[in-house]
Amino acid sequence: MNFATLRRRWWIGLLTVCLLAIGTYIFLIMAGEGKSRATKRGPDSVARGMPVIAAAAKKGDVGVYLTGLGSVTPIATVTVKSRVDGQLMEVLFKEGQIVKGGDLLALIDPRPFEVMLTQAQGQLAHDQALLDNARLDLERYQVLWKQDSIQKQQLDTQDALVRQYEGTVKTDQGQVDSAKLNLIYCRITAPVGGRLGLRQVDPGNIIHATDTNGLVVITQLQPITVVFTIPEDDVSSVMKKLQAGEKFPVDVYDRAEKNKLAIGTLLTVDNQIDPATGTVKLKAQFANNDYSLFPNQFVNVHMLVDMKRGATVIPGAAVQRGTQGTFVYVVKSDNTVTVRPVKLGPTQGDNIAVDTGLVPDEQVVVDGTDKLREGSKVELGVQGANAPRKNKQ
């Protein structure tokens, strides 16, 4: 090995020792600064708890609801049809219009029925004259028979002729009344109040009483009903209260169950259980003053069947579920949490009643439970606050 090689290795070794010395010096400086910062922060900083949001358990009333899926059903849906055949002369309604029972909707050409009425009245007058004459002859025959001037058979024949003409006159009167009724039917009116659908026939067409589609469909919207189902296990309790005269408030929500659409009352219960689904149908009625309910609309139904008074109520977000069942994290006075098993009661909105395991004013964690364990230290915040704040001891 020559001198140049030895010299190069010596410089490499010297450089390595210098780098190790510099690295050791920097590490000792950083470690000293970290220890100094930790000393300045003190024990509170080292023992700082996890930030969580908590809410206090409250005492209140919670409704016990039965829920089900329902469909909006109108009380009446009527297809308006003509009761006579004729030409549709005029349509007096607008599509989507709200009408009352008896409102005039359309006119049919009345002239053919006016002619029929005139003919019927003429026939009635003719047969009425024959009847009047037959009655006069009967009176004469009765006088002659008393005088023994005619035979009894002639009197009986005249009496039968009078009764025959009386029947004919009644038939003619029926024809007159029928013609007058047809004239009334030329004016098509709304049989019920409600909202009109789309027009099915345009003016100028010949319409018939046998037409399937009719002229227009009227759907009664005020009031309106909702048909929904509940499990058969709940039928007996509902029937007992219903027979006792109690009223069941019913709320309906939209498909997403976020917006309340209407408030009504239970109207009736069906008379049989569907064996395929194990449910029974119920019908509730709603005023629907704002037309928020529409026929065949899908809704979620909440029916109040009982009220739990003085219950301990907490936000539903505080309830946790695990292998041990349902539990909550209760914040103790020393800002640590403990796992508390609870037995839950009915739910109302975002709140839930607790039957056992909690008392009012105890604080439960509603946000930040992911990393909590029994005895975890927490920095307590209040539900709805912008930033956590420490719990006062």
Q: Are 317 and 367 in contact (CB under 8 A)?
A: yes
pLDDT above 70: percentage of residues in the chain? 87
Q: In sequence order, which residues have a C-beta less than 8 Å from that of residue 336 and are 6 or more positions away?
A: 49, 375, 376, 377, 378
Distance CA 288, CA 290 (A): 5
Q: Which residue has the tokens 């005039």?
A: 104
Q: For 50-62+310-382, which CATH class? A: mainly beta
For residue 6, is pLDDT > 70? no
pLDDT of residue 383: 55
Phi, psi angle pair for 334, to nearest 5°:
-95, 20
Q: Are 51 and 371 in contact (CB under 8 A)?
A: no
In the 3-class helix/strand/coil scheme, how is 332-350 assigned residue by residue? CCCCEEEEEECEEEEEECC
Distance CA 112, CA 119 (A): 11
Q: What is the pLDDT of residues 357-386, one digit of tens each?
A: 898 989 999 998 888 888 889 887 655 444
| Mean of pLDDT values over 308-334 | 89
Domain ranges of the chain: 50-62+310-382, 66-75+219-309, 81-216
Distance CA 302, CA 282 (A): 12
pLDDT of residue 386: 40
pLDDT of residue 45: 42
Which has the closest alpha carbon to 70: 385, 392, 296?
A: 296
Which H/E stretch holds residue 120?
Answer: helix 111-146
Which has the closest alpha carbon to 295: 201, 193, 222?
A: 222
Q: What is the pLDDT of residues 54-108, one digit of tens each?
A: 988 998 888 888 999 999 999 999 999 999 999 999 999 999 999 999 999 999 9
pLDDT of residue 8: 67
Bridge partners, 327 (sequence order): 320, 341
Which has the closest alpha carbon to 215: 111, 108, 110, 295?
A: 108
Which H/E stretch holds residue 35?
Answer: helix 3-41
Q: What is the pLDDT of residues 229-287, one digit of tens each?
A: 999 999 988 999 888 888 999 999 999 888 999 999 999 999 999 999 999 999 999 99
Tokens (6 digits) for 138: 């009967």
Q: For 66-75+219-309, which CATH class? A: mainly beta
Q: Is 142 exposed, middle or buried (0-12, 13-18, 19+ CB in 10 A)?
A: middle
Which has the closest alpha carbon to 299: 263, 268, 275?
A: 263
Bridge partners, 282 (sequence order): 228, 269
The structure's pTM equals: 0.66
